[in-house]
Structure 1
Amino acid sequence: MNQSSKTKEVTLLFGTFLIAICGLVYELLEGTISSYLLGDSIYHFSLVIGLFMSSMGIGAWLSRFISDRLERAFVLLQMLIAILGGFSALILFYAFAYIQNYEAFLYLVTIALGTMLGVEIPLIIRILKESYSLKTNISNVFALDYIGALFAALLFPLVLVPQLGLMQTSFVFGMFNLFVGLMAWSVFRDLLGKKYLLVMLVIALLLITGLVKSNYLVSIIENKLYQHNIIYAKQTSYQKLIVTSKKGRIQFYINGAIQFDSIDEYRYHESLVHPAMLTAKSHEKVLIIGGGDGMALREVLKYEDIGSVTLVDLDPAITTLFKENNILNQLNHHAFGSNKVTVVNQDAWKFIETSQAL
C-alpha cells in the first residue's frame, strides 16, 4: 500500500468514527427535544429511532445509484449533513414555537438526516475497496461505526447536554461533519477543486455564527414558549430548569412541565404536608423525598417540635437555586437556612437503601 492510499484509508476510517458519533448525537438530539417539548419520552424516542434507522436503510439502498465520482458525493453529503444536522435543533425549536407544526418538521429532519447518513457507510466501503479485501474493509468500517456510536451514547448525557445544551450541541456536531468533509477534500482535492473548499468555508461561518448566537436564540424561542418572562434558565446535569415571572407571580418548570405557580402552590403543599404531620406520633425526625424547591419544607418547619429534617433531592442545582435566589427563597420562607435542615443531593432510592436512620 503506497503512502497516498494509506492516507486515504486513515482519513476515511477516522471520518467513519466521527460520522458515527455525529449520527447518533443527531438522533439523541431529536428525541430529547421532542421529549422536552411534547413529553412522553418513550413514544418520541421510539419514533425518532425507528424513523432514523429505517431512513438509514433507505439511504443505504439509494447509494447504489451513485455509480461514479464517489469522492465528490461523499464530500457533498458531509456539507449537507453539516447544514441540516447543525441547524436541526434550531429548526425544531422554531417549528414548535412559531409554526405550530412540529411533528411534520420532526419527520422531515429525521428522514432527511437518516437517509443521508445511510448513504455514507456504503460510499466509504466502495471508496476503500482498492485498499483492502472486502471482508477486511467491511469489518474495519463497521467496527469504527459501532465504537463511535458507543462514544456518542456516553458523551451525550454525561458531557454534551449538561455543558453545552441542545442548541450548542447541534451546531458543534454540524462542524464535526464539516470537518470530515474538509478531511476528505484534503485527500481528494485533485479530484474536487477549490470550489468545495469555498462552500465549506461559508457553511463553517454559518455554523460558527449559530454557535456564538445560540444562547440568544434559545432565549428568544423559550420566551415564546412560556406565557411569562423568563428570569432564570439552566440546563443541569439532569434536567432543564426554567423560572418565569410576571407581576410578582412566579412559575417554576422542569423540562417544560410546570412544577408550581406561586399564586396557588400553597394549596398543594399544605394538603401534602399537614395531614401527614398531624397523623405522625413524633416530629423528631422528618424525611422529605424530592421537594427541592423547599415549599414542602416550609410547611414542615411550621411545627415547633421539629427535631431535624432531611431533604433528599437528586439535583443540587435546584436546592441551591431555591436556597440562594432572593426571589425564590422568599417563597419558601428561607427554609434552607434553618439549622434543623440537612440537604442530601442523592438518588432517593439509594438514600433509602443506605441510610442508617431508616
Structure 2
Amino acid sequence: MTDARLRLQHLTLLFATFVVAICGLVYELLIGTLSSYLMGDSVFEFSLVIGLFMTAMGLGSWLSRHAQLELARWFVAIQFGIGLLGGLAPLILFFAFAQLDNYRSFLLLIVIALGTLTGMEIPLVIRLLEHMRELRVNLSNVLSLDYVGALVASLLFPLVLAPQLGLLRTGLLFGLLNLWVALLAAWVFRDQLARWGRWLMALLLAMALLLALFVLAERLTQSMETRLYDDEIVYAETSPYQRLLLTRDGARIRFFLNGALQFDSLDEYRYHESLVHPALALAEGRERLLILGGGDGLALREVLRWGDIGQVDLVDLDPAVTGLFRRNPLLRQLNGDSLSDPRVQVRNADAWKFLEQADTLYDVILIDLPDPRSLGLSRLYSESFYKLAAKRLARGGVLVTQATSPLYARQAFWSIVASLEQGAGLEALPYHAYVPSFGEWGFVLASAKRLDRNNPLHGAGLPPGLRFLRQDLLGPMTRFPPDMARLEVETNRLSSHVLSRYYEEGWANWFR
C-alpha cells in the first residue's frame, strides 16, 4: 500500500472520529430532550439516558475485542447501524409514545443499542490506526478529537440544532452524517471490503430513506403531535428554551409548553382573576408592578382592568412566547392586546437575574411561572428567590405567586407557603380556587403587613367585568378542607430542592 493511501486512511479515520463524537453526543442530548418533553421529568430522563448510554458504551468497548478480522468492515457496519438507528430514533420514540403502551421499553432498547455501537467505535479506530502511528500518538489524537467533537455537539445542539431544525430533523441530519462517514470509510477502505458494491447500494438506500424523511419531517412531526392532543394543532415552534404548541377547537384555544398545559381559554379567567385581583386590591399602591412569567399576557390583561395602574414590567425568559402572544390575532384578542399597552415594558430575561439586578421597588409583584417540575424551575420557588423578591417590594407592597395544586401536590403547595414565610420573612396567606382544566389550584399572597384571613380584602373593591371573583368569595377561598390542610414540610432551599420531589410525588400519586 502506498504512503499516500495510508495517509488518506489515517486522515479519514481521524476525521471520522471527530464527526462520530459529535453524532454520539447529539443522539444523547436528542433522546434526553425528547424524553423530557414527552415524560416531563427532565432530571430523571436525562440521567437515565446518559447513564444507560455511557454504560452501553462500556459494553460496546468490551465487545469490540471480538472483532478480530476485517476491522474496516466492522467500522463501516457500525456507522451504518448508528446512522440508521440514530436517525430514526426520534421518529420511533414519538410513535411509541403516541401509539403504543411501552414507550419506556423502546427508549431503553434504543439507548442501549446506540450506546453499545458508539462504544465500539473508538477501540476499532485505534486498532485500524495501529500500523500507521505509534500507540501514544494514536491515543492522544483520537481522544483529543473525540473530546473536541463532544464540545462542538454540546454547543450546536441547544443553540442551533434544536431551535432551528427541531428534534426530528436533527436526528435525521445526524443519521445522514453517520451514513456519510460510513460511505467515506467504505470508499477509502474499499480494498479491504468484500462486496463493496453491496455496501455502496445499502448505504445509498439508507441515505435516501433518511433524506426523504428529512424532507417530510414537518408533516411527520405534526402527524405525531396531533396524536398527543385532542384538538387541531394550529401553531408549533421549538425555541432555545422549550417547545411551544397551540391547539384550537372552534373558539377554544389551549396552549402547551413542553407538552404541559398552560391554559385553556374556556376557564383561564378563573385562574388569572384569582391570581391577580386579591393582590392588587390589598396593595397600598398600584404605580409600579412587576410580573415574573406570564408571557401570554393573560395576567397582564387582568392587571390593566384597574384604572390607576402606572408602569408594569413583565419579565419572561422566552421571547418566542411573548412574541407569539403579541402578534397572533387570536391570542391578542384573548389577552386584550395587553402586551402592546404603552404602560407595559416587556423584558426577556431570567426572573432571578432580573431581581438581582433590579433597583426599582414595586407595589405588587405577581409571580406566574410554570410549575416546579424541574430543578431549573424549582429554584424560582426557593427561599433565596423569595428573599430577592421581598427586597423589591415597596412599603405596603404585596407579592402573590401561583403555587400548584393543594390537592394533587399538597406537600409542594405547603412547601411554597413555608418558603415564602421563612425565606422572605413575609406573612403568607394561602388560598385556592377551582379551575376545571387543572382542578383545585393554589395561590399564596405575601406581604410585610398583616393579612386578615377572615376578611382578606378589608372591604377593598374589585374592578368591573370579572367573570369569577367576587369580594365575598376570597374569605372561603382561604379556608382549606382536611384533604388540603396544612402539612409540616421542608422549605425549598437551593441545597435541597425538595419542592421538585414533592411536586413529582404528589402528581404521580394521583395520575400514574
What is the CA deviation profile of residues 165-210 of structure 1, one whole-angstrom value per residue up to 9, with x for unaligned ones? 1000000000110111112112111222222111111011001001
- Structure 1 position 37, deviation (Å): 0.2
For normalisation by structure 2, the TM-score amounts to: 0.69
- 1:261 pairs with 2:264: yes
**Secondary structure at 2:189 match in 1:** helix
Q: Where in structure 2 are the equivalents of 1:307-346 lying within 5 Å? A: 307-346=310-349
Segment of structure 1 superposing worse, 296-305 or 145-154: 145-154
- 1:91 pairs with 2:92: yes
- Structure 1 position 238, deviation (Å): 1.1
Structure number with the bigger relative contact order (C-alpha 8 A, sep ≥ 6) is 1
Segment of structure 1 superposing worse, 162-171 or 130-139: 130-139
What is the CA deviation profile of residues 68-89 of structure 1, one whole-angstrom value per residue up to 9, with x for unaligned ones? 0000111111111111001000
- Structure 1 position 20, deviation (Å): 0.5
**Secondary structure at 2:181 match in 1:** helix
Other-structure match for 1:19: 20
**Secondary structure at 2:312 match in 1:** strand
Other-structure match for 1:116: 117
Segment of structure 1 superposing worse, 229-238 or 165-174: 229-238
- 1:217 pairs with 2:228: no
What is the CA deviation profile of residues 96-125 of structure 1, one whole-angstrom value per residue up to 9, with x for unaligned ones? 001121000000100000011111111101
**Secondary structure at 2:83 match in 1:** helix
Q: Distance in 1 between matches of 2:147 and 2:129?
A: 18
**Secondary structure at 2:130 match in 1:** helix
Other-structure match for 1:349: 352
- 1:236 pairs with 2:233: no
Q: Distance in 2 between matches of 1:111 and 1:146?
A: 21
What is the CA deviation profile of residues 311-346 of structure 1, one whole-angstrom value per residue up to 9, with x for unaligned ones? 111111111111111111111111122111111111
Q: Where in structure 2 are the equivalents of 1:72-221 lying within 5 Å? A: 72-192=73-193, 193-221=196-224
Other-structure match for 2:384: none
Q: Distance in 1 between matches of 2:246 and 2:41?
A: 22
Note the aligned Cα RMSD (angstroms).
Answer: 1.1
Q: Distance in 2 between matches of 1:44 and 1:343?
A: 33
What is the CA deviation profile of residues 269-313 of structure 1, one whole-angstrom value per residue up to 9, with x for unaligned ones? 111111110111111111111100001000000010011111111
Structure with higher Rg: it is 2
- Structure 1 position 164, deviation (Å): 0.6
Q: Distance in 1 between matches of 2:156 and 2:339?
A: 34
Q: Distance in 2 between matches of 1:223 and 1:56?
A: 35
Q: Distance in 1 between matches of 2:262 and 2:273?
A: 15
Q: Distance in 2 between matches of 1:30 and 1:342?
A: 37
**Secondary structure at 1:327 match in 2:** helix
What is the CA deviation profile of residues 154-173 of structure 1, one whole-angstrom value per residue up to 9, with x for unaligned ones? 11111110111100000000
Q: Distance in 2 between matches of 1:148 and 1:345?
A: 32
Match among 275, 281, 294 for residue 291 of structure 1: 294
Q: Distance in 2 between matches of 1:25 and 1:100?
A: 26
**Secondary structure at 1:281 match in 2:** coil
Specify the code of the residue in structure 2 equivalent to 1:10. Answer: L
Segment of structure 1 superposing worse, 258-267 or 192-201: 192-201
- 1:4 pairs with 2:5: yes
Specify the code of the residue in structure 2 equivalent to 1:35. Answer: S
Specify the code of the residue in structure 1 equivalent to 2:246. Answer: V
From the two aligned structures, give the one with the greater helix fraction: 1
Q: Distance in 1 between matches of 2:177 and 2:9?
A: 18
Specify the code of the residue in structure 1 equivalent to 2:76. Answer: V
Other-structure match for 2:71: 70
- Structure 1 position 356, deviation (Å): 3.2
Q: Distance in 1 between matches of 2:232 and 2:261?
A: 14
**Secondary structure at 2:309 match in 1:** coil
Q: Distance in 1 between matches of 2:54 and 2:310?
A: 56
Q: Distance in 2 between matches of 1:135 and 1:222?
A: 50
Q: Distance in 1 between matches of 2:127 and 2:217?
A: 38
For normalisation by structure 1, the TM-score amounts to: 0.98
Other-structure match for 2:54: 53
- 1:226 pairs with 2:229: yes
What is the CA deviation profile of residues 244-290 of structure 1, one whole-angstrom value per residue up to 9, with x for unaligned ones? 11131111000000001111111111111111101111111111111
**Secondary structure at 1:130 match in 2:** coil
Specify the code of the residue in structure 2 equivalent to 1:200. Answer: L
What is the CA deviation profile of residues 117-139 of structure 1, one whole-angstrom value per residue up to 9, with x for unaligned ones? 11111110100000111122112
Q: Distance in 2 between matches of 1:306 and 1:107?
A: 54
Other-structure match for 2:43: 42
Unmatched tracts of structure 2, length 5 or more:
362-512
Q: Distance in 2 between matches of 1:353 and 1:50?
A: 35
Q: Distance in 1 between matches of 2:140 and 2:103?
A: 39
Q: Distance in 2 between matches of 1:203 and 1:209?
A: 10
Q: Distance in 1 between matches of 2:341 and 2:42?
A: 37
For these two proteins, the number of residue pairs brought into alignment is: 358
**Secondary structure at 2:308 match in 1:** coil
Q: Distance in 1 between matches of 2:244 and 2:93?
A: 20
**Secondary structure at 1:258 match in 2:** strand
Unmatched tracts of structure 1, length 5 or more:
none
